């Protein structure tokens, strides 16, 4: 049987699968972690912890299906983005990786924007989450690290490097640094900020080969020696392929640790706070938030529920009686990326009364995330001048039909859930099979291997109520934004009451 090794390096776990030519996940292995060290705006992970997880996940696959593991023809790894691994000469990590949650570069980003060419196309995108701002922060905080800097990689690129010995990435994952390296009216931002273009690795298309797996790797990776490793891309890009949403006029929504939402079109468009990225044949308009299914985990912990049984616990909450007066929830527990790019935003429940209970809070959380989805979708549709055909929904949150219906009702668009519970793994497998030449293109592979499970049409009877709540949600954001900003800088210090 022909199988490929597909891996998805997520925000809270590492998942791997052996996938056959029909798109079936024949064997799966999931390993939790690694946990990030989060403190005072910092969020860091030891890059080599991801390498250990790859070995552990593959060992699980080898135990479950040794004959299939021995038949692996290719490897493709997708992974979290907006996470920088800083390498020195020879590919040695100089420090822990800075994850997508790290906000320490907020002040450095403001200083950087002040001295860089404002006419450059990437100037407005430089914020606390931008890789150039993080490099600028490193120069201020850790000059010795910047002195020895040779290459910047994303996590999946680091694993590809450990497998093959070749430093490479793809144009989607490196979009922001590539944009900085592009010339503007007064030159490029990368060199203006004091960094050479050589810190970018060689670029490959996601379906192009990086190199074969090296011999002599730790078991069971030693059994993969000679198998081609395809470059792949970030986890969102791969999951969109795995949902069959990589097509003109579609939107996607990936609900994992965080939410990502965007729409696809043939031409680039610009919208305030949204990212425009060349997705290799189509242009994506949208991007990642800081909230998502992880917000549900936070609520369950707050209510003293079993966090190890998220699906059952949220189902139990949603099955309870709901009060007639709704509660609004602003989901900005960790600041926000798209569309605000503000690490100082904070969350809030609004409108609580004595009759509200856990069920009301659960609905408020799901609706709050869906309201944020609507903000991003409306911005993208306004910029492109046309509505999307449907929203393809995947990730852990897509397993909940109530949330799917809420998203359809609030966004006013059909929400279609993919048949594969792991669209990122399926997308990585599609990349590998395309790279092997089994399909002429990603579009052909997507058409052949992706199926849908369910479709949720907007319920017009709920539209009027949700429209009114959405208007209140937007007013709440405006009213509480300045208070969030002040609270974010507050510290009791030694005067805690």
Per-residue pLDDT tens for 130-151?
999 999 999 999 999 999 999 9
What range defines the domain where residue 98 resides? 3-233
Check whether residue 260 and residue 208 sit in a common domain: no
Residues 183 and 255 in one domain: no
Question: pLDDT tens digits, residue range 346-376?
Answer: 999 999 999 999 999 999 999 999 999 999 9
Assess if residue 239 is contained within a domain.
no
Q: Are residues 165 and 21 in the same domain?
A: yes
For residue range 439-470, what is the model confidence (pLDDT) as tens digits?
Answer: 999 999 999 999 999 999 999 999 899 999 99
Looking at the fold, whether 109 and 225 belong to one and the same domain comes out as yes
Q: What is the crossing angle of helices 235-242 and 423-435, to 10°?
A: 90
Tokens of 351: 């409108």
**pLDDT tens per residue, range 412-433:** 999 999 999 999 999 999 999 9
Give yes or no for a contact between 387 and 413, defined as CB atoms under 8 angstroms apart. Answer: yes
Same domain? 96 vs 73: yes
Mean pLDDT across 404-417:
97
What per-residue string of b and e applies to 67-97 under the rule 16 or more CB within 10 Å gives b?
A: ebbeebbbbbbbbbbbbbbbbeeebeebbbb
Give the model's pLDDT for residue 492: 74
What is the average pLDDT score of the chain? Answer: 95
- Of the pLDDT bands very low, low, confident and very high (cuts 50, 70, 90), residue 497 is low
Per-residue pLDDT, 493:
66
**Residue 184 maps to a domain:** yes
Last residue of a domain, one of 213, 233, 253: 233
* pLDDT given at position 477: 97
- pLDDT at residue 495 tops 70: no
The verdict on 204 and 351 lying in the same domain is no
If asked whether residues 167 and 116 sit together in one domain, one would say yes
- Quick one: pLDDT at residue 307? 79
- Same domain assignment for residues 181 and 37: yes
Check whether residue 126 and residue 99 sit in a common domain: yes
Do residue 190 and residue 307 come from a single domain? no
CATH of residue 317's domain is: 3.30.420.40
Residues 227 and 249 in one domain: no
Residue 218 located in a structural domain: yes
pLDDT at 20: 97
Q: When comparing pLDDT for 292 and 411, which is higher?
A: 411
**pLDDT score recorded for residue 67:** 96
């Amino acid at each position: 049987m022909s199988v490929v090794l597909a891996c998805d390096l997520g925000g809270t776990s590492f998942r791997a699968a052996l996938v056959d030519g029909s798109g079936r996940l024949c064997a799966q292995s999931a390993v939790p972690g690694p946990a990030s060290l989060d403190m005072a705006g910092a969020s860091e992970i030891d890059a080599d912890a991801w390498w250990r997880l790859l070995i552990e996940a593959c060992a699980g696959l080898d135990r479950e299906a040794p004959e299939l593991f021995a038949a692996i023809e290719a490897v493709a790894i997708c992974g979290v983005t907006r996470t920088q691994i800083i390498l020195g000469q020879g590919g040695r990590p100089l420090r822990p990786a800075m994850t997508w949650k790290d906000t320490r570069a907020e002040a450095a980003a403001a200083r950087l924007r002040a001295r860089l060419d404002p006419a450059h196309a990437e100037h407005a995108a430089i914020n606390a989450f931008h890789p150039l701002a993080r490099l600028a922060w490193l120069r201020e905080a850790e000059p010795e690290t910047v002195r020895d800097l040779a290459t910047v990689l994303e996590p999946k690129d680091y694993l590809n490097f450990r497998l093959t010995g070749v430093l490479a990435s793809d144009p989607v994952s490196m979009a922001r640094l590539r944009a900085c390296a592009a010339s503007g009216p007064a030159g490029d931002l990368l060199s203006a900020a004091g960094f050479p273009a050589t810190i970018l690795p060689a670029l490959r298309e996601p379906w192009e080969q990086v190199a074969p797996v090296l011999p002599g790797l730790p078991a069971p990776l030693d059994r993969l020696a000679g198998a081609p490793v395809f470059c792949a891309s970030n986890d969102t890009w791969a999951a969109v392929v795995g949902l069959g949403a990589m097509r003109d006029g579609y939107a996607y929504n990936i609900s994992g640790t965080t939410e990502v939402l965007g729409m696809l079109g043939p031409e680039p468009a610009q919208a305030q706070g949204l990212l425009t990225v060349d997705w290799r044949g189509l242009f994506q308009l949208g991007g990642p938030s800081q909230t998502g299914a992880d917000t549900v985990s936070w609520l369950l912990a707050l209510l003293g529920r079993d966090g190890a049984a998220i699906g059952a616990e949220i189902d139990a909450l949603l099955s309870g009686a709901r009060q007639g007066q709704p509660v609004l929830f602003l989901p900005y527990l960790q600041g926000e990326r798209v569309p605000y790019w503000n690490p100082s935003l904070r969350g809030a429940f609004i409108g609580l009364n004595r009759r509200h209970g856990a069920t009301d809070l659960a609905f408020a959380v799901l609706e709050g995330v869906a309201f944020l989805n609507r903000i991003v979708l409306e911005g993208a549709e306004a910029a492109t001048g046309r509505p999307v055909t449907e929203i393809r929904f995947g990730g852990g949150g897509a397993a909940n039909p109530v949330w799917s219906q809420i998203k359809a009702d609030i966004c006013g668009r059909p929400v279609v859930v993919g048949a594969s519970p792991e669209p990122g793994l399926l997308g990585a497998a599609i990349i590998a099979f395309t790279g092997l030449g089994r399909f002429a293109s990603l579009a052909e592979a997507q058409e052949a291997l992706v199926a849908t499970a369910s479709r949720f049409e907007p319920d017009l009877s709920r539209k009027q109520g949700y429209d009114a709540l959405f208007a209140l949600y937007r007013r709440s954001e405006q009213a509480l934004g300045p208070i969030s900003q002040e609270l974010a800088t507050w510290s009791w210090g030694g005067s805690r009451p």
